[in-house]
Structure 1
Amino acid sequence: MNKYAVIDLETTGHTPAKGDRIIEVGIVVWSEGKIIEKYATLVNPEINIPRFITNLTGITDEAVSDQPTFDEIAAEIRGLFDNAYFVAHNVPFDMGFLNEEFKRVGLPVIMQPVIDTVELSRIMLPQAPGFKLGQLASWLKLQHDDPHRALSDAYVTTYLMSHLLKIIDSLPYETIKQLEQLEPKLKSDLGVILQNRADSLAFSTNHRDDLEIFRGIALKKQHLKPKALSNKAVSFGEIMDNFYQNEGELAYVMPAFELRSGQREMSEHIFDAFQSKRHAIIEAETGTGKSLAYLVTALFQAINYDERVVVSTHLTQLQSQLVEKEIPLLKKILPFTFQTAIMKGKQHYLSLAKFEQTLRSLDFDNYDIILTKAIILIWLTETSSGDIDEIQLPSSGERFFRLISTEAEGGLDPNSPWFTRSFYYRAKANAQRADLVITNHALLCANMTSETPLLPSFKKIIIDEAHHLETTASKHFGLSLDYLSIQKLLQSIGCLENNSWIKKLAEYDPDISIICDEYEWDKWWQEAKEETDGLFRYIFHYVEKKQSTHIAINDIGRFQYRIQSEGLDQGWEVIIEMVNRISFQLRDLIHILSRILKIIDQKRLASDYWEEVKWNMERLQRVLDGLENYFIKNLAEDEVKWIEIDAFGARNAVYLFQEPIDIAQLLHHKFLIHKDSVIMTSATLTIKESFSIFKERIGIKEGEAIEKKIISPYTYQDQVQLMVPNDFPHAKYGKMESFIEATCEAIVSLAQITDGRMLVLFTSYDMLKKAYALLRDMMEESYILIAQGVSSGSRARLKKNFQTFDQAILLGTSSFWEGIDIPGSDLSCVVIVRLPFEPPNHPVYDAKANYLKKTGKNPFMTLALPNAVIRFKQGFGRLIRSSTDRGIVFICDDRLMKAKYGNYFIDSIPNIPIHYNSTKELMEIAEDWL
């Protein structure tokens, strides 16, 4: 069968069983590489079309009123699918809807083989930025004249399918045969297509030069780049002159280049710090172009002085952006050659040894895991890095990847056949040879305490997004444990009665089986599982019983209980007894694994098994150490421990946390004093023009660092209006209803002025949920409400959805206060609902406040206020992301104007017009200004 009927439907909704109907059909019939037939019609649904659908498609009630009903055209549509593959971008929707309609009018349903281009795109285009039809069309440069109209979407789906089939026809024999093993559990019927490709390759001598086949897996050929031997001598002044001028190299390769004096100033300050071997703290306001500013200097230093420089970012996404965007740009214009490498933690890299093992076992794989294996097989023919951040996996696939990451292999034996092809060890080797290494704060902090270095040696480092270093270091030097991760660990090791790792190990060698039986593996494993479940259920109950005064609620709705040594009671003693029992059981399991390890050593069994046993022993030991440190060891004065429970989740949804209260001394002794130059930069480091709070928290002594603030090139006076209502109800803890109602009314009024395009920032998830429910009732259907934790999807997905719709309002809490860039007319207004003070009963805040009191400091002025001001600056910074952006920052909290500390917030943002009036007057000002 080489005929494909490609369909797209527009409908009044998603559920035909509830009365939704088709309003447009587009079908393209494709065969032998050509379109042989097309069909398009509007359909009269005989019901009203929702306004949202009209906004999306442009199809109105009037447009369909004189069109045929589905009953009249059903037979003609049904005939187009005879002897053809049924193809759609999301087959379950289009086929499901069509078949319900066929049943309704008495026609037989479609039973043909299917190709789902969403699924096939996920497999064949693993590095695509997204899998919506519009995203793929844009990425592949497919012509898409009329998105969300049926025939246009059907044409684009046809071109996409053709592209995907060509990729299948380029795959090597080994990959095709492995896909054939997976195909029965996929949605798309690819059996015949894969078989045809395999047949064409069976006697072919035409192999791809870019691939190698190793142990039956096709891999992209890898090459370690040789280090450049010499470079032409050039001065830093020459670089600056060539780089930062209207006719310079940067302007030549960047069409939208704008000369920014702050960018050159920042480069020069970093160079001065490097030359004088001093630390530096640089606040570079939005629009400075700090990434290029620090990269230019870092690369010059590395090449001219033959010393490695490291750059660390908070998020791995920024790491990737630097490597994919800024570095290629600099390679075009800098007058010297250089090498860069990206270095992440082991959990980011695929283990080929682990992946090979999982390919042998398919019996118990669910759909997501089968899809993930298919995606990885194609990705391996493309990737040089093996870094999972290159691709998007389904949610279960992400969990599965943890089991096949380099972290899961423990330490790969140098004698393993996969050692020379290990992505992680290749990344380390590349980093060792690189002039510039780009890493992240988490790996940087792990490197501070690791017995074996995770990063190559360096003396100079630039830390971007440096306001996150304190929090990341606190988490790294602390501890976190939770019920689910411990149970998953025990489940992944398993018992002899299920199809588990330990059973496969026992079946591999009879002596291992004897050890497992003799030392009663299953008994201790079962008891450890049951005791862990009992412990966490008891902790849940223990926290739930505590009075509300001991409990805080965090921004994702979890209850938090801080452990204090003076408050421990009889219930806590029960917990300690339970922990002691689990410790005993975990020790027994570790002991049995140590006996197995000896057998593997003595009999010289496969190194893969040795690595796995060692890794599982280490994982169990980490849990054992964690539980004993948390519960058995006495609470130190300089640390905080707290428990979080999902109050409305499972009765064992418990999370344990421990952090040092003051990270400054640790950072100073373990990091700062060992480096020549540490450059810390961010857009949000100062409070009222001062770095003193940041220095104190990060461990930098007075006079130890150069301090500079680079002013933004944007004309905030002309680009932003800040508005504060003076007539809102007073916001009282526990009595927020009136305040939330007034906030929602203001949001509705602003939405009418800004056509949506609003980001609303909350300080609590509870307030966000209440506002969302209220806004849904108050707003017209034409506005799309997108809310963190309510609407499904990741932060990036919610942002994309927000930018997709013309009239959208995005509600967010903690993670939306920073790192979300929505430039241009996509965002016209940022609403800050409350000044972002942490709840005073938050465990970490409470512990730090008490610690500060003991040292004679004011917790509000040295902790609460600085944290809130930095957060406020981040929220304010969401609005203006380019020199042409314009908009309103609307702050519902009049403490900004009335409280004595309000000027700390105002003096920490650019000087802009501030309006403090009634809500009605503010709306008039907003309308006139926009």
Structure 2
Amino acid sequence: MKRNIQEYFTEEKIKNCLPDFEPRVEQVKMAEKVFQSFSKSENLIVEAGTGVGKSLAYIIPAAIFSMESETTVVISTETKSLQTQILEKDIPIAKKILQKEFRAEIALGSNNYVCKRKLSNTIDSGNFGIEMTDHLKEFYEWEKNTQTGIKSEYTRFASNEFWSKVTRESDNCLGKKCPNFSSSYYFLEKEKWRNSNILVVNHHLLASHIAGEYKILPEFSYLIIDEAHNFPEILSKTFGAKLTFEDIQKSLDFIYVVGKKGGIITKFQKEKSIEGLKEQIKGTNKLLVSYFNKLYLEVPISFTTQRIKEKLKLDEGDLECALGEIVEELSREIADSANESDGVDSKEKVLELQMVSDRLNSSIDILKKVRMKKEADLVVWLEANGDRFATLCVEPLQSSSIFQENVVGKMESIIFTSATLKSGKKDFSYYKNKLGDIPVKEEILNSPFDYTKNSILYLARNLRDPSSESDDFQEDVIKLIPYLLELTQGDTFVLFTSNKSMNSVYDALSKNSTYPIFSQGELGPNRAKEGYLKTEKSVLFGVSTFWQGIDIKGDKLKSVIIVKLPFQPPNDPVLEAKTDELKKLRLNPFMELQLPLAIQTMKQGFGRLIRSKTDTGVVSILDPRIRTKSYGSLILDSLPPAKIVNSFGELKFAYSKLPQYK
């Protein structure tokens, strides 16, 4: 399939849609590479620096390819902000450029949609919290008029508990057997997905689709993964699992709550089965408490997480056996119920029995994996959650094996793109290792922005080392930040690597700061961002959420302060397991794992500052290790070529000389 993609990126073509458009060689090159990869069924990794215009560079060739080959192209992103940009800005522009009305849809996880059956059952039974009593009428009005039934479109009050009772659950859905199937919000949306040229999803939904044997989204074989730097980790987590004491208790209580009436057991036909199952659940509740007590004794948590390296004694499988016997009893009831009437009540009963049976089977599977410890490629750990008992966690060690077994061979072509995929100047090896041995072409497209002219990189001096003098470093940070805020008169992001550090600095500075500080720790990410954007000369304190995916152009963001180099905590269980494997191979875990990831994150953090050709400002790195450690030069070499200054006096002078654009 041959096409002159360049013709769609001429100034004449795009000027009508984007008055400020300037032709970019990098954008045209990326568009050509994307179309070529689709046409030849090849995979492509492309790092496109900020300002390349990568969204249009893949949307236009994807739309052309989709229309000509009559196939769906899926675009996956990590952040909602990019999804919004694609759907509300880039897709309409692409349609004007192509002068064609191709179909573009967004796919959301099923729990984003109201389930009419669950809503009706909840209202009819009165099974909703008292907090909803005064709000049901307005919810009804919305539900009566909505075209999509999407949770985020409802702007009035509804409690989280209410939403959980009225939104779709994948394992509690009658599907085509439901009397509401023809008017189901979710299934009507799925029909739109099937007929789309471009289907926009997020990474978590895409990963769930892959982990769920490709049953969630419509069939597709051409995929663009934007913000691809974190996708392998998201995929690994999706193939992992977490289990709490409360998860199992909730499943048991769904069947029968000891000493109370109710539960699905009341729908059973045989009295003998009911009494037998009640006794089984009583015994299993005791085993459940005993299991988690033994787990706590065998694996005491010294930090927030504790990796389980050895095979545990625990209860030698007693809890698994007890849960398995309950599942067998449920299976017998499901078989008996299949011969009952074909009414909705009977179908709902079978569905609920199957749902709780599947959930118990999932719990058994995790318990067995933890007890047996047979899978060498599985990381197992405990995670403190603030409850009585810790959370059991399992996750595959390597994302590469998941790609090999579950992705390679299923796709004709995958485009991996981001502004931060390299771990060095021209090195994709760190990212490619996460994908495994898949054939892939590479392309590096540098940003067209003039960083040397428009940005300053300040490497602060005389701060103490956070790795050896943590408290002293924190004091130094608290003293320096007000000077940096005064320099730009606010309009600053301060990026931290931990909530503890962020909260400590916020407590020390917020009351007496000349400039209002909005902290993610105090307000949460959404309210902190909203307050920052609405308030003049403001400051935002944030952790991981604000290192990436935030696009603020113009003078509202003139300074980004990176407090500490973003190294992953060494006690992270998956990192620890990967470190052990690298040591066995006589490789350096720091150079192979921690440094490449820190470089990617630093590039993301720096990337918040310059979002257009007229943006100017300063990035300050307060961590002295950027100068004192040998790896510091590797990090600096990977960052955009800003003017480097080393003293506050130099910084003030350089800042005063930055260009003033109208």
| TM-score where L is the length of structure 1 | 0.66
Q: What residue number does 2:146 align with?
A: 383
Q: Give how far 1:269 is off.
A: 1.0
- Matching residue's letter, 1:698: L
- Matching residue's letter, 1:617: S
Instruction: Write the distance in 2 (CA, Å) between the matches of 1:255 and 1:326.
Output: 14
Instruction: Write the distance in 1 (CA, Å) between the matches of 2:138 and 2:256.
Output: 27
Rate the CA distance shift 1:627–1:669 in 2: closer, same or farther, 3 A.
closer
Instruction: Write the distance in 1 (CA, Å) between the matches of 2:515 and 2:260.
Output: 52
Instruction: Write the distance in 2 (CA, Å) between the matches of 1:515 and 1:749.
Output: 77
1:862-877 paired onto structure 2 within 5 Å:
862-877=592-607
Among candidates 797, 818, 831, match of residue 527 of structure 2: 797
Q: What residue number does 2:520 align with?
A: 788
Specify which structure has the bigger relative contact order, considering alpha-carbon pairs within 8 angstroms and separated by 6 or more residues. 2
Q: Does 1:765 align with 2:495?
A: no
Instruction: Write the distance in 2 (CA, Å) between the matches of 1:403 and 1:864.
Output: 42
Q: What residue number does 1:685 align with?
A: 421
Q: What residue number does 1:751 align with?
A: 485
Which segments of 5 or more consecutive residues in structure 2 lack a partner in the other structure?
none
Instruction: Write the distance in 2 (CA, Å) between the matches of 1:843 and 1:292.
Output: 39
Which segments of 5 or more consecutive residues in structure 1 lack a partner in the other structure?
1-233, 552-558
Instruction: Write the distance in 1 (CA, Å) between the matches of 2:21 and 2:286.
Output: 63
| Equivalent residues of 2:253, 2:263 under 8 A apart | no
Among candidates 512, 518, 528, match of residue 269 of structure 2: 512
Q: Give how far 1:743 is off.
A: 0.8
Instruction: Write the distance in 2 (CA, Å) between the matches of 1:804 and 1:541.
Output: 51
| Equivalent residues of 1:298, 1:436 under 8 A apart | yes
- Matching residue's letter, 1:681: T
SS at match of 2:11: coil
Q: What residue number does 1:324 align with?
A: 88
Q: What residue number does 2:331 align with?
A: 594
- Matching residue's letter, 1:561: Q
Q: What residue number does 2:473 align with?
A: 739
Q: Give how far 1:686 is off.
A: 0.9
1:1-16 paired onto structure 2 within 5 Å:
none
Rate the CA distance shift 1:371–1:676 in 2: closer, same or farther, 3 A.
farther
Q: What residue number does 1:706 align with?
A: 441
Instruction: Write the distance in 1 (CA, Å) between the matches of 2:482 and 2:96.
Output: 48
Pairwise CA RMSD of aligned residues? 2.8
| Equivalent residues of 2:224, 2:415 under 8 A apart | yes
Among candidates 686, 704, 716, match of residue 451 of structure 2: 716
Instruction: Write the distance in 1 (CA, Å) between the matches of 2:309 and 2:570.
Output: 16
Q: What residue number does 1:23 align with?
A: none
Whose Rg is larger?
A: 1
Q: What residue number does 1:359 align with?
A: 123
Moved more, 327-336 or 826-835: 327-336
| Equivalent residues of 1:515, 1:595 under 8 A apart | no
Rate the CA distance shift 1:805–1:529 in 2: closer, same or farther, 3 A.
farther
SS at match of 2:76: strand
1:152-301 paired onto structure 2 within 5 Å:
236-237=3-4, 240-241=6-7, 243-248=8-13, 250-301=14-65
1:190-589 paired onto structure 2 within 5 Å:
236-237=3-4, 240-241=6-7, 243-248=8-13, 250-315=14-79, 318-362=82-126, 365-367=129-131, 369-370=132-133, 373-374=136-137, 376-391=139-154, 397-407=159-169, 410-451=172-213, 453-492=215-254, 494-495=256-257, 500-502=262-264, 506=266, 512=269, 514=271, 517-521=274-278, 523-529=279-285, 531-533=287-289, 535-536=291-292, 539-540=295-296, 543-544=299-300, 546=302, 551=303, 559-565=304-310, 572-573=312-313, 575-577=314-316, 580-589=317-326
SS at match of 1:282: strand
Q: Does 1:655 align with 2:391?
A: yes
| Equivalent residues of 2:81, 2:550 under 8 A apart | no
- Matching residue's letter, 2:308: I
Rate the CA distance shift 1:762–1:350 in 2: closer, same or farther, 3 A.
same
Rate the CA distance shift 1:700–1:340 in 2: closer, same or farther, 3 A.
farther
Instruction: Write the distance in 1 (CA, Å) between the matches of 2:560 and 2:568.
Output: 20
Q: Does 1:694 align with 2:431?
A: yes
Instruction: Write the distance in 2 (CA, Å) between the matches of 1:725 and 1:413.
Output: 60
- Matching residue's letter, 1:641: V
Which of structure 1's runs of 4+ aligned residues deviate more than 6 A?
A: none
Q: What residue number does 2:376 align with?
A: 637
| Equivalent residues of 2:48, 2:419 under 8 A apart | yes
Rate the CA distance shift 1:831–1:904 in 2: closer, same or farther, 3 A.
same
| Equivalent residues of 1:270, 1:679 under 8 A apart | yes
Deviations 1:734-768 (A, max 9, x none): x4121111111111111122222221111122222
Q: Give how far 1:322 is off.
A: 2.5
Q: Give how far 1:560 is off.
A: 1.1
Rate the CA distance shift 1:767–1:274 in 2: closer, same or farther, 3 A.
same
Rate the CA distance shift 1:928–1:737 in 2: closer, same or farther, 3 A.
farther
| Equivalent residues of 2:453, 2:658 under 8 A apart | no
- Matching residue's letter, 1:667: F
Instruction: Write the distance in 1 (CA, Å) between the matches of 2:175 and 2:9.
Output: 49
Of all paired residues, the percent bearing the same amino acid is 31
| Equivalent residues of 1:477, 1:659 under 8 A apart | yes
1:105-120 paired onto structure 2 within 5 Å:
none
Instruction: Write the distance in 2 (CA, Å) between the matches of 1:417 and 1:629.
Output: 40
- Matching residue's letter, 1:739: F
Deviations 1:832-858 (A, max 9, x none): 111111122321111101112223432
Rate the CA distance shift 1:380–1:363 in 2: closer, same or farther, 3 A.
closer
SS at match of 1:236: coil
Q: Does 1:726 align with 2:493?
A: no
| TM-score where L is the length of structure 2 | 0.91
Deviations 1:317-375 (A, max 9, x none): 544542333323333342333223333332232221111111212265231x4477556
- Matching residue's letter, 2:417: T
Rate the CA distance shift 1:689–1:738 in 2: closer, same or farther, 3 A.
same
- Matching residue's letter, 1:651: R
Rate the CA distance shift 1:373–1:712 in 2: closer, same or farther, 3 A.
farther
Q: Give how far 1:637 is off.
A: 2.5
Rate the CA distance shift 1:656–1:256 in 2: closer, same or farther, 3 A.
farther
| Equivalent residues of 2:366, 2:394 under 8 A apart | no
Instruction: Write the distance in 1 (CA, Å) between the matches of 2:152 and 2:331.
Output: 35
| Equivalent residues of 1:402, 1:408 under 8 A apart | no
Q: Give how far 1:436 is off.
A: 2.3
| Equivalent residues of 2:617, 2:655 under 8 A apart | no
